[in-house]
């Protein structure tokens, strides 16, 4: 997905590093990575360290880091191109539930062109790019980290560890607690739901549609502040 941009921008001084937030690790992310045949580092983050370290709460999210290791843009929605789901037609035989889900997906706010244009500008102009934020702005724009959200990270990590050890029901309890403590963290929700497979709505007694509507579709991918 990012390889085309990497090919364009690598010789101008940018490296892309992708991190898969998959609790099942290379088992689920690996086939996608192999198919994309990336030349850039492609990492696996089973316990969502990206959330705890940087404040990532959804995917795709991008973080810009300059040559000195200074973050110049904190996590924000990062789409390399317009996703196909935005243009998907609702099948005429779709059930009401399926229709609602597709229409909600199509209403997500995605700004691929603006994001990629800003990225190109930063690669060309570095610190002089208006998109490179000051250290104070980077910290200010990163997410607040109240005690509940900090604790959610511990519960998610326990859920992932217990799932790996085969203790599924105990894992679900920790995932549920992570969701309760940080309801707007979509990586905690969606990864846990994916582990529950077809039973996800029974196990968690909710759905992506319900939760997106509850939190507000405009908050799923917030508008870029470029």
Partner 1 sequence: MIFAEPRVPADVFARVAGWRVEPEGLCRGDRCVPFRADDGVVDLAAAAAALSMPLVHDRAHGLWALGAEAGGRALTSANAPELELPDFRGGSFRLSSLRGTKVLLVAWASW
Span 86-145, contacts to partner 1 by CB under 8 A = 119, 122-123, 126, 134-136, 138-140, 142-145
Run of H or E including 119: helix 112-125
- In three-state secondary structure terms, 43 is strand
| Closest listed residue to residue 64, CA positions, set 133, 4, 6, 1 | 133
- Give the nearer residue to partner 1 in terms of CB position, either 92 or 146: 146
What does the alpha-carbon distance between residue 43 and residue 82 come to, in Å, rounded to a whole number? 24
- Give the nearer residue to partner 1 in terms of CB position, either 93 or 204: 204
Least Å distance, CB 28 to partner 1, is: 5
What does the alpha-carbon distance between residue 201 and residue 97 come to, in Å, rounded to a whole number? 13
Contact positions with partner 1 (CB under 8 A) in 41-80 = 41-45, 47, 49-56, 59-72, 74-75, 78
Contact positions with partner 1 (CB under 8 A) in 155-214 = 155, 157-158, 161-162, 165, 167, 170, 174, 187, 190-191, 193-194
Least Å distance, CB 149 to partner 1, is: 7
Give the contacts of 208 (CB within 8 A, at least 6 positions apart): 101, 189, 190, 193
- Give the nearer residue to partner 1 in terms of CB position, either 32 or 92: 32
Least Å distance, CB 94 to partner 1, is: 22
- Give the nearer residue to partner 1 in terms of CB position, either 96 or 166: 166
Run of H or E including 140: helix 135-141
| Longest alpha-carbon distance in the chain | 54
| Closest listed residue to residue 195, CA positions, set 220, 164, 155 | 164
Which of 3, 26, 102, 183 touches partner 1 by CB under 8 A?
Answer: 26
């Amino acid at each position: 997905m990012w390889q085309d941009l990497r090919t364009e921008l690598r010789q101008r001084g940018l490296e892309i590093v992708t991190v898969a937030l998959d609790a099942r690790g290379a088992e689920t992310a690996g086939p996608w990575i192999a198919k994309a045949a990336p030349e850039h580092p492609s990492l696996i983050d089973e316990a969502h360290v990206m959330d705890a370290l940087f404040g990532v709460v959804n995917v795709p999210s991008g973080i810009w880091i300059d040559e000195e290791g200074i973050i110049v843009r904190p996590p924000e929605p990062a789409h390399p191109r317009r996703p196909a789901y935005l243009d998907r037609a609702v099948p005429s035989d779709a059930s009401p539930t399926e229709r609602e889900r597709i229409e909600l997906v199509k209403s997500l706010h995605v700004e691929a062109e603006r994001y990629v244009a800003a990225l190109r500008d930063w690669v060309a102009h570095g610190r002089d790019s208006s998109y490179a934020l000051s250290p104070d702005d980077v910290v200010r724009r990163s997410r607040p980290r109240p005690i509940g959200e900090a604790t959610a990270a511990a519960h998610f990590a326990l859920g992932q560890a217990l799932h790996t050890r085969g203790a599924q029901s105990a894992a679900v309890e920790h995932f549920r607690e992570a969701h309760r403590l940080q309801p707007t963290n979509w990586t905690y929700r969606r990864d846990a739901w994916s582990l529950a497979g077809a039973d996800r709505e029974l196990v968690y007694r909710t759905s992506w549609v319900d939760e997106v509507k509850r939190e507000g579709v405009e908050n799923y991918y917030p508008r870029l502040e470029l």
